Amino acid sequence: MMYKQQKQRMPVEIKSKKELDLMRAAGKIVAEILDDVEQHAKPGVTTGELEQRARAILEKYGATSPFLGYPNAQEKWPPFPGWICASVNEEIVHGIPRMKRVLREGDLLKIDVGATYGGYIGDSAWTFAIGKVSDRARRLMQVTEESLLQGIAQVHNNKRLWDVIATIQHAVETNGFTVIREYQGHGVGREMHEEPSIPNFLDDEFDKRPTNVLLKPGMTLAIEPMVVTGKWDTKVLGDKWTVVTKDRGLAAHYEHTVAVTENGPEILTQWK
């Protein structure tokens, strides 16, 4: 899950070695769930079934989902009811898993997974092709994953957050796709959404200060490009959670929790 735009308020936390160990453990659980999704997300399977499998893995480790019960930004709306997010095709993020939502050949499935373990959170998302998808969908997946990996490669001591962001945006836009503006990545640790905010674009009318963060060892970042084939405008469906593209363009989403170390990036949610 990610954050709606908000202003920078607090300094970015530096995690201790012990805290990083707990985040590694949380990240491994997240990775196991994504690996399980890859094996089971096939035509005929429901997003509700994938959620049940994810829940079983979390419970096996005594972990919980930081998404379940997460308050809606619109306070009058219900908290998030799912253990994971499952978003299909034009749905970008925050889709609610359902036993009636049957995956079909050609669907583009985004699964976002969080695990809270020992008080610390791992957060990662991946996009899965259900059966054979269109060439355009396949290209969208490749470009979005590559933008994440290129962005992560910028995570070094004394680099700026904008180096990460500019790299992601460039990787996406030079391939003819568009980054979502209204949702973004975030610091992560004891809370699912910590400082700094990590948008996926720089040329914006929003507050630019968060992107000025100097990266330091011990910072833990959830970097998550959300990329679409059409325009970046979004809307929220009647379930008050599922975010879709207004123009019904296809969406892909990849996310890793990454620690800044003395030796560059350490992906805490690595699974493949």
Single residue of 2, 54, 227, 258 touching Mg ion by CB under 5 A = 2
Token reading at 75: 């306070």
**Please, what is the minimum distance in Å from the beta carbon of residue 87 to Mg ion?**
11
Token reading at 202: 């720089």
**Please, what is the minimum distance in Å from the beta carbon of residue 92 to Mg ion?**
12
Beta carbons within 10 angstroms of residue 38's beta carbon: 13
Site stretch for Mg ion (CB under 5 A), options 5-13, 33-41, 53-61, 115-123: 115-123
Per rule CB under 5 A, count of chain residues that contact Mg ion: 7
Handedness of CA 89, 92, 93, 94 (dihedral sign): negative
Element (H, E) at 97: none
Site for Mg ion in 15-74 (CB under 5 A): none
Output 44 or 119, the one with its CB closest to Mg ion: 119
Residues 209-248 vs Mg ion: string with x where CB under 5 A? -------------x--------------------------
The residue count for the chain: 272
**Please, what is the minimum distance in Å from the beta carbon of residue 148 to Mg ion?**
12
Is 90 near Mg ion (CB under 5 A)?
no
Q: How far is CA 225 from the centre of its chain?
A: 7
Site stretch for Mg ion (CB under 5 A), options 7-15, 124-132, 155-163, 208-216: 124-132
Distance CA 265, CA 146 (A): 15
Contact indicator for 107, 50 with CB cutoff of 8 Å: no
**Please, what is the minimum distance in Å from the beta carbon of residue 206 to Mg ion?**
18
| Residue of 232, 132, 122, 247 lying closest to 172 (CA atoms) | 232
Output 105 or 155, the one with its CB closest to Mg ion: 155
Q: CA of 218: how far to CAs of 15, 27, 184, in Å?
A: 5, 15, 21
Element (H, E) at 223: strand 220-223
Single residue of 49, 123, 194, 266 touching Mg ion by CB under 5 A = 123
| Residue of 171, 175, 168, 174 lying closest to 202 (CA atoms) | 168
Output 107 or 255, the one with its CB closest to Mg ion: 255
Contact indicator for 120, 23 with CB cutoff of 8 Å: yes
Output 102 or 190, the one with its CB closest to Mg ion: 190
**Please, what is the minimum distance in Å from the beta carbon of residue 105 to Mg ion?**
26
Is 112 near Mg ion (CB under 5 A)?
yes
**Please, what is the minimum distance in Å from the beta carbon of residue 132 to Mg ion?**
27
Please confirm whether the linkage preceding 196 is cis (ω < 30° from 0).
Answer: yes
Site for Mg ion in 157-196 (CB under 5 A): none
- Name the site residues for Mg ion (rule: CB under 5 A): 1-2, 112, 123, 125, 222, 255
